[in-house]
Structure 1
């Protein structure tokens, strides 16, 4: 457990130390009026307290990714936690902070607008399409996973006559009797369909209503469930380790050696750690989905000085959630093969359900699972909302009128319903690639802003180069892409990343600071007026 707590400590230090460095490089302007006031519309631009925004931001960005991804990443052993920590501090949190603050600086603009402004129109057109595709995939994926968990809870409750009994972790979620459920005319398929419909209906309502009417009011309740889940699972890990000594990361974590640390780098021949780890663990370390969500909260922030707490801080919190579930994945089962079998039998949702019940008992386990359920639900609703706003921004359609919102929302949900019929495993692969590709573009966008205004751009450029190589390699190697030889794919990925870097420095032009009202120089005493 020492490695686990060490990783959490490093994440917290990252917020206070590196987060402050990033803030200084960006240079905030506390005197500038934010879009929450200058563009207030009562629907999407609504001033809210930084605490509430932080909670909504965390729930928006933390979907299934920081849970399912780390569980899958646990197949690589303790090194997965290393990626969560380093990725979160130096890539993910920087990505979220820069996206949020650039959105604040540009009237709450969405990521495609920012990309067009700092990288050029052709990239804006590409990212407009890719962002909407990603958001639809996210919405669909984040319907399926909570619906599966809720249907499992429902079947167990009715199957056992109103209660859940646990004899051992293997039996939970798979051996419950369905007698009572059958008597009520419920089958697993009908319950799953019912929960899918309920979640879709909630998404429609949350997408159309003003952000403070549903999202701003019920998210504190969801936040309480999230807090219970996080603290509860951490308590379960620690108490089980101290009480029985049975918690071990495929062996004794206390005696972690270099050999053991890197022992599972390639658990399967078709799952090499590069680049699969970087695309398997996404939301807990770095996620392009966050770039589609962060502008929603940038439209509600009341002061630029709140940016580090809201954007960088929420990502660090998500990294802690990812560490918890990565530790669960590595410690709940006795060995790698058992974890692989559990995932194959019921996807990561089986690991979530079984471990929650085992660590926290029947009642506590159900509340922990509900804490997991709210994450994809609170990301799915804002995914469709963000897709609506991106499309509206692209076609310059006002969104104050409900009818205008319906013109975009209805086709989106129809497409989402059609896509939901695709196999979940295939959807997840496409989601992973699209997600990290959007993250790559957002990092290049932030690097373009910093380079253009002569700030220290390498805090974004270096992670952008690394993610470029990872995304290109994945596309060349994986079967959803070109299915090429692995070694050739690595060379292609690195080569394309180098070409992308060269193109960046060739086409992004530096501006004369004094001649651009959008620029803030490093000297914080200089103020260019209302627009920074």
Structure 2
């Protein structure tokens, strides 16, 4: 229990200490107008209050990631706490904040556009491919996972396909509505359910008779019943609970509704810390209520949704446990909706299709949903595996974009570069070792080969950045992220 409570305390301190440092590094300006004000279109660019932006960001990034991921990460044992806590503070929170703020400075641009601006045209096409693939997988995963939870929560028999179709209908209607109507009206209620249910699970766990495992020298080892290696496996399993590229597709959407840059730390960094606390609670619950083999068998028998159902009812009873499951269900439904909405925006921006009529919106939305519905026929665990890899590759690309931004602005770029290099190496080793890639297995070849490939990619990236900075004249460096200038000061706008 000491490790569990201490981890949550560290996450909160991380927000006030390291989060404040990251905020000072970026230097938000209160005198700049935001895209929500200058580019308002009453569809995607709509000013909304800080508390609502924060709730939307939390629900957008959460999904089942900080629940399903930590539950599966609990198979590794208490060592999972380390990645959740330090990953959130030094990687995930920085990733979300920096990408959200860079988007805010660039008229709410999505990740592919930012990659094109700061890394190059080739990067724009590459990032667009990965972002679309990721969002399609996320949207599909966040259709099937809540559908499974709903089916298990209903007291009577239900058809899974019917539930899936109903979720798609909800997504379709919400995707084409203005963001303040589709998301702004519903998410505060979803957020209340999520927060109350999470608190209920955490508090009940602390005061229950179950023993919450601590991280000690004896428990700092790999407890995975199948012997899967901690690196890189755990860093992909616990993705949304520590760092997730999916967040890089969500932060720009919220950057289009923010009215002051000072909101950034609370909205982007703070909500990632909130997600870390959710991850800590579910990882601790999974480790406390089940041994590793039982937990593994439950996941193999279905998905992590089986564990969610069991944990909720064991800790809170059938009635309140079902209510808690509703809190879990709203996460993937909200994130699935935001995933499809982001996918529509990214495709529209990439193809330069202005979203000003229903026909143009539906021309992009309907084909996406058809493809996603087909993917729901694929085994969930296979989808999750591909999602995890595409997710972390996207996170690396987002960190490289923000690193280049900070480098060009002569700011401390190491805060994004270090976690970016670490996760780049993990991604390369993963694709070398896992069946979805070369399938070489974990060994000397995968680890050394990963180092070589990572070193080459970093060298090319560094050389390109230095050349890019040297080619900019002083005025271009000043305005690199400030065109058009959005400021409340009319003298500065001239």
Coarse TM-score class (shorter-chain normalised)? over 0.9
Partners of 1:92 and 1:528 in 2: how far apart? 36
Q: Is the CA contact 1:520–1:528 (under 8 Å) kept in the aligned structure 2? A: no
Task: Map residues 378-457 of structure 1 onto 2, 5 A cutoff.
Answer: 378-457=334-413
Q: Which residue of 2 aligns with 1:62?
A: 62
Partners of 1:399 and 1:520 in 2: how far apart? 24
* Deviations, residues 456-498 of structure 1 (Å, cap 9, x unaligned): 1000100000000000111110001110131211112222221
Q: Is the CA contact 1:477–1:483 (under 8 Å) kept in the aligned structure 2? A: yes
SS at match of 2:263: helix
Partners of 1:115 and 1:520 in 2: how far apart? 13
> Once superposed, what is the RMSD of the aligned Cα atoms?
1.6
Q: Is the CA contact 1:357–1:364 (under 8 Å) kept in the aligned structure 2? A: yes
Partners of 1:232 and 1:415 in 2: how far apart? 38
SS at match of 1:33: coil
Within the candidate set 212, 218, 236, 2:186 is matched to 218
Q: Which residue of 2 aligns with 1:268?
A: 226
SS at match of 1:73: helix
SS at match of 1:43: coil
Task: Map residues 129-148 of structure 1 onto 2, 5 A cutoff.
Answer: 129-148=129-148
* Deviations, residues 45-68 of structure 1 (Å, cap 9, x unaligned): 000001000000000000111000
Within the candidate set 458, 462, 479, 1:518 is matched to 479
Q: Is the CA contact 1:150–1:373 (under 8 Å) kept in the aligned structure 2? A: yes
Q: Is the CA contact 2:35–2:108 (under 8 Å) kept in the aligned structure 1? A: yes
Matched, 1:287 2:244: yes
CA displacement at 1:513 relative to structure 2: 4.6
In structure 2, relative to structure 1, the CA distance for the partners of 1:528 and 1:393 (3 Å cut) is same
CA displacement at 1:117 relative to structure 2: 0.8
Task: Map residues 325-404 of structure 1 onto 2, 5 A cutoff.
Answer: 325-333=282-290, 335-404=291-360
Q: Which residue of 1 aligns with 2:212?
A: 248
Matched, 1:464 2:420: yes
Partners of 1:513 and 1:15 in 2: how far apart? 34
Matched, 1:198 2:166: yes
Within the candidate set 463, 477, 489, 1:506 is matched to 463
CA displacement at 1:452 relative to structure 2: 1.4
CA displacement at 1:344 relative to structure 2: 1.5
Q: Is the CA contact 1:468–1:493 (under 8 Å) kept in the aligned structure 2? A: no
Partners of 1:332 and 1:305 in 2: how far apart? 41
Q: Gapped runs of 5+ residues in structure 1?
A: 159-180, 182-187, 522-526
Within the candidate set 412, 432, 447, 1:476 is matched to 432
Matched, 1:227 2:195: yes
Q: Is the CA contact 1:275–1:473 (under 8 Å) kept in the aligned structure 2? A: yes
Q: Is the CA contact 2:35–2:104 (under 8 Å) kept in the aligned structure 1? A: yes
* Deviations, residues 59-109 of structure 1 (Å, cap 9, x unaligned): 000011100000000011111010011111111111101111011100010
In structure 2, relative to structure 1, the CA distance for the partners of 1:514 and 1:426 (3 Å cut) is same
Question: TM-score, normalised on structure 1?
Answer: 0.88
Q: Is the CA contact 1:517–1:528 (under 8 Å) kept in the aligned structure 2? A: no
SS at match of 2:259: coil
Partners of 1:410 and 1:77 in 2: how far apart? 43
* Deviations, residues 223-258 of structure 1 (Å, cap 9, x unaligned): 111012110110121110xxx3x3233xxx3xx530
* Deviations, residues 124-163 of structure 1 (Å, cap 9, x unaligned): 1011111111111001000000000101111xx23xxxxx
Question: TM-score, normalised on structure 2?
Answer: 0.95
CA displacement at 1:267 relative to structure 2: 3.6
In structure 2, relative to structure 1, the CA distance for the partners of 1:390 and 1:520 (3 Å cut) is closer
Q: Is the CA contact 2:99–2:398 (under 8 Å) kept in the aligned structure 1? A: yes
Q: Is the CA contact 1:33–1:530 (under 8 Å) kept in the aligned structure 2? A: no
- The alignment covers a number of residue pairs equal to 482
Greater radius of gyration (CA): 1
Q: Is the CA contact 2:175–2:182 (under 8 Å) kept in the aligned structure 1? A: no
Task: Map residues 85-100 of structure 1 onto 2, 5 A cutoff.
Answer: 85-100=85-100
* Deviations, residues 325-366 of structure 1 (Å, cap 9, x unaligned): 110111111x21111112112221111000101101111101
Q: Is the CA contact 2:313–2:322 (under 8 Å) kept in the aligned structure 1? A: yes
In structure 2, relative to structure 1, the CA distance for the partners of 1:465 and 1:530 (3 Å cut) is farther
SS at match of 2:185: helix
Runs of 4+ in 1 over 6 A off after TM superposition: none
Q: Is the CA contact 1:453–1:512 (under 8 Å) kept in the aligned structure 2? A: no
